[in-house]
Amino acid sequence: MVLPEALNELRKTLRKGQQTMADWQGGELAVSAVPGAGKSTGMAVAAAIAIANFNLHRQKQLVIVTFTRSAVSNIRKKVSEHLKNLRLPQSAFTVSTLHSLAYTIASNHRELSGFGAGETIIVSESQKQRLIRNATNLWVKENPKLYDLLLEGRSFDGEDTERLRRQTVLRTDVLPSLAREAIATAKSSELTPEDLRQAESPDGGTILEIAAGLYETYERLLRQEGAIDYDDMILGALRVLKNDSIRKYWQERVFAVFEDEAQDSSPLQTDLLEILALTPYSSLPEGDGEKSFLLPSPSGRGVGGEGIKNLMRVGDPNQAINSTFTTADPRFFNEFCDRCQLNSQLSTLDQAGRSTVNVMRAANYVLYWVNHSEYAKLEKPFRQQRIHPVDVDDPQANANPEPIGKGVEIYLPNTVDDIEHEIELIGLRIKQLHEQDPKLSMAILVRQHNQGRFVAEALAWLTKEHDIKIYDVEQSDRRSRVPMDMLAILQFMERPHSPDNLKSALEVLKDRLKISSQQDLNALASNPEKFLYPTLLDPALTPLAQDAQSKCKALLRAKIELPLYNLIPFIAFTLYDDEAGLLATADKLGDRLNQQLVGNYSMQTVITELKEIVESENFEAVEDENLEGRYMTAGQLTIISLHKAKGLDWDVVFMPFLHKRICPGEAYIPESVKFLGDFGLPEVARAQIRAIVHHERIPNPEEAWKQCSYLKQAEEFRLLYVGMTRAKKLLWLSAAQSAPFSWNTLENRTENAPICPAITELAKKFPEFISW
């Protein structure tokens, strides 16, 4: 028995808003928190207090779920610490990601999960991509009529070159993306291929028919391999829980579910949690004392039967930044919040300990402006929620620190000429700040990989001349792609006349900035013979294509001239400059292949071995539980993508390159796919399936395309907001006058590139932040 005083002491370590979590008395509770509100801290204390209040133990547990593995270990550590201090059993709670919770349930009852009898193989992301490629090829073979319809597109003059180009675009680009979107959206919403076929679509259902076919073929291949993907884990668990006695078993074991990062869950994942969180009335013992603690579920929606739903969902809808590539959508969590609000079960954590006051004012204004702008016509990108500083007696020391300078510095195009100038100004500011306080943690947040690379190269002098440590997070990603690059190039060397092989090799050369991206690679790859060895009768190649051709031919020559074991180093020198340890990584890979293939070293065995390495992903750096700690080290400058920066913070945050083209961006259709229509087919499929999920009218392709770009823009603004709220003492926002048209190549610049409209408005509202 824990003394109430001890629990009260623990509760008092929380700020007011967080205390509403600790005061949870059962039933449903939504907690909508602003960035920096201390959600995880609040949840950990709330968990310990709930375990004490409800006498939880091994057979009646509190289940905590969150999104990433590092968040799991963070929360586990905190809860465990509190339980130790309160002398409560550690077995009273579990913390896991949603997927691993689902997998535990499903694999405990294999016969009902649909997983098959043998050992279950869980496909990784890269294995899934391979399956999708295979499914696409198979679908093309089995569906010649639909494929021809796509080849015809809007119009077709029957010319062979154009046909070959279209084939390459469809098979290597459009159809695999369509498959990916369709599978992600449909499967994670429990829609079957048949459901897609039966939906009433205004365009006659052709797009949904293709989506259904690809999805079906993918499923077939997955089953053939005896494998499951991440969506199957959730579906498997839900299938298992349809069984009355098994559901009862789990519901009795699980007293309540606390979910962190709830804005990132899909509806099906939420269903799973709701089922687990339910205690059926029939399971409550007569006159059980616990009964009096529990409030009836406010929703009464009763997933999985009537009962009491003990479910706390904590999240920030304004930090939902995964909705354009998963089925998560902030609207689901928003709806949950609204529903709970009707029953006075919504708690809003709007005080935040992290940033200096001006950073909060800037983030609040951006949110307000976007929600009242043309970008909010269809649906508001943000939940209206202001971030407030903490009270003076807050338990967190120095929760809202003093600013450095004004706390926010905005650099507009009239002071910054071009991106080189912009990064030079940033470098000088970093040097100055580091001299003033060598312990400051700093980060530069970028939206695209190529920006990160540009920044890392341009600021290398800070390390050389001033010993400032730079940690480029994307670098390790680049290293993990080395085996894939090698595989693509070797496959091309082995069979250069395959359009697919040539296309993959060209893609690698483009990604490594060795050939220009300002050309249609599909056109080059569609007829390898003509591209590599044109006759005098063939039309002349453009200068950009000639450059690509000479790089490809050099690779083919090397295959003839060099001993096989020299090919890996040769390819490495072709692809990589001596940056980011890529050459060293390629060396390591070469050594490993040499060791593994002693006495059996041939092109074929090297390719097979590389395939193995790529598919098993066992050459990648192992995810480190304290990776986040390494990103935020004092005295270090971290270069990191906006997506990865979520959940982290630094004393000083730089956000450069804030142009309208990127934030909020606009829907863009490459010339090469316009034969299909003025829209992206994968995005349209996704929007149509989404409409089925939401029981809405299915949009026609043009409407669907508009919706997609709207959703994407809303998400870009949320990314901007996530970025801004990472700063503790100083936030730097900038955009140069001249910027690259596309970051794939820095050569083509747009003069007077329009800047992100939210930043223009921010500068108008707070002219005192404008710096030069």
Sequence ranges of the binding site for ATP: 33-40
DSSP state of 663: I
| Least CB distance to ligand ATP at residue 415 (A) | 31
Are residues 345 and 30 in contact, defined by beta-carbon separation less than 8 angstroms? yes
Please select the residue that binds ligand ATP; options are 38, 176, 205, 317, rule is CB under 6 A: 38
- Residues annotated within a binding site: 33-40
Q: What is the dihedral of CA 557, 562, 565, 568, to 10 degrees?
A: -40
Among 17, 36, 381, 701, binds ligand ATP (CB under 6 A): 36
- Of 10, 14, 515, 685, the one binding ligand ATP by CB under 6 A: 14
Give the whole-angstrom CA distance, residue 190 versus residue 192: 6
State the residue for tokens 């990916």. 180
Least distance to ligand ATP from the beta carbon of 331, Å?
Answer: 19
CB 311 within 8 A of CB 256: yes
Q: Does 396 bind ligand ATP (CB under 6 A)?
A: yes
Residue 117 contacts residue 83 (beta carbons within 8 Å): no
Residue 201, CB-side half-sphere exposure with 13 Å CA sphere: 27
Of 394 and 417, nearer to ligand ATP (C-beta) is 394
Answer whether 172's CB lies under 8 Å from 500's CB: yes
Nearer to ligand ATP, 400 or 707 (CB): 400
* Closer residue to ligand ATP (CB): 296 or 395: 395
User: Which residue lies nearer to ligand ATP by CB, 407 or 427?
Assistant: 407
Minimum gap (Å) between residue 562 Cβ and ligand ATP: 51
Instruction: Examine residue 664 and say whether the peptide bond preceding it is cis (omega within 30 degrees of 0).
Output: yes
**Sign of the torsion formed by the C-alpha atoms of 8, 12, 17 and 18:** negative
Q: Among residues 175 and 321, whose Cβ is nearest to ligand ATP?
A: 321
Between CA 261 and CA 40 the distance in angstroms is: 9
Q: How far is CA 739 from its chain centroid?
A: 26
List the x/- string, 641-670, binding to ligand ATP by CB under 6 A.
------x-----------------------
Q: Between 24 and 492, whose beta carbon lies closer to ligand ATP?
A: 24
Least CB distance to ligand ATP at residue 251 (A): 28
Nearer to ligand ATP, 33 or 62 (CB): 33
Closer to ligand ATP by Cβ: residue 12 or 694:
12
Q: Which stretch binds ligand ATP (CB under 6 A): 10-18, 231-239, 366-374, 705-713?
A: 10-18
Size, binding site for ligand ATP by CB under 6 A: 17
Residue of 725, 103, 119 whose CA lies nearest to 388: 725
Rounded least distance, CB 629 to ligand ATP, Å: 12
Q: Among 13-21, 150-158, 218-226, 503-511, which window interacts with ligand ATP (CB under 6 A)? A: 13-21
Q: Which stretch binds ligand ATP (CB under 6 A): 35-43, 659-667, 685-693, 704-712?
A: 35-43
Q: Which stretch binds ligand ATP (CB under 6 A): 36-44, 158-166, 225-233, 404-412?
A: 36-44
Binding ligand ATP (rule: CB under 6 A), the pick from 389, 395, 635, 677 is 395
Q: Is residue 182 within 8 Å of 214, Cβ to Cβ?
A: yes
Nearest distance from C-beta of residue 10 to ligand ATP, angstroms: 11
**Residue 50 is inside which H or E element, if any?**
helix 39-53
Q: Can residue 39 be called a binding residue for ligand ATP (CB under 6 A)?
A: yes
To ligand ATP, the closest distance from the beta carbon of 395 in angstroms equals 4
Q: How far is CA 385 from CA 20, 140, 357, 438, in A?
A: 17, 49, 16, 35
CB neighbour class for 578 (10 Å; exposed up to 12, middle 13-18, buried from 19)? exposed
Rounded least distance, CB 14 to ligand ATP, Å: 5
Measure the CA–CA gap between 202 and 698, rounded to whole angstroms: 7
Helices of type H across 143-189: 144-152, 160-169, 175-187
Distance, in Å, from the CA atom of 394 to the CA atom of 17, rounded to the nearest integer, reads: 11
How many other β-carbons are positioned within 10 Å of the β-carbon of residue 539?
8
- Choose which of 35, 427, 483, 590 interacts with ligand ATP (CB under 6 A): 35
164's CB contacts (< 8 A; 6+ apart) are: 499, 526, 527
Q: Does 262 bind ligand ATP (CB under 6 A)?
A: no
Nearer to ligand ATP, 177 or 725 (CB): 725
Using CB under 6 A as the binding rule, whether residue 33 contacts ligand ATP is answered as yes
Query: Could you tell me the smallest distance in angstroms from the CB atom of residue 349 to ligand ATP?
Result: 8
95 is an interface residue for ligand ATP by CB under 6 A = no
Q: Which of 15, 166, 313, 686 binds ligand ATP (CB under 6 A)?
A: 15
Could you say which residues in the range 554-613 bind ligand ATP, by CB under 6 A? none
Using the rule CB under 6 A, which residue among 19, 20, 32, 40 binds ligand ATP? 40
Min separation Cβ 647 and ligand ATP, Å: 4
Task: Return the residue matching tokens 């695999």.
Answer: 176
Give, to the nearest 10 degrees, the angle between helix 567-575 and helix 543-561: 160
Q: Give the x/- contact pattern for ligand ATP in 115-154, rule: CB under 6 A.
A: ----------------------------------------
Start-to-end CA span in the chain (Å): 62
Least separation in angstroms between residue 396's CB and ligand ATP is 3
> Which one, 645 or 708, has the nearer CB to ligand ATP?
645
Closest to ligand ATP by CB, 442 vs 493, is: 442
CB burial of 30-58 (b: ≥16 within 10 Å; e: otherwise) equals: bbbbbbbbbbbbbbbbbbbbbbbbbebee
The site map against ligand ATP for 307-336 (x = CB under 6 A) is ---------x--------------------
Distance of CA 377 to the CA centre of its chain: 26
| DSSP per-residue letters across 5-20 | HHHHHHHTTS-HHHHH
Using CA atoms, how far apart are residues 84 and 90, in angstroms rounded to an integer? 8
Binding positions for ligand ATP, rule: CB under 6 A: 13-15, 18, 33, 35-41, 316, 353, 395-396, 647
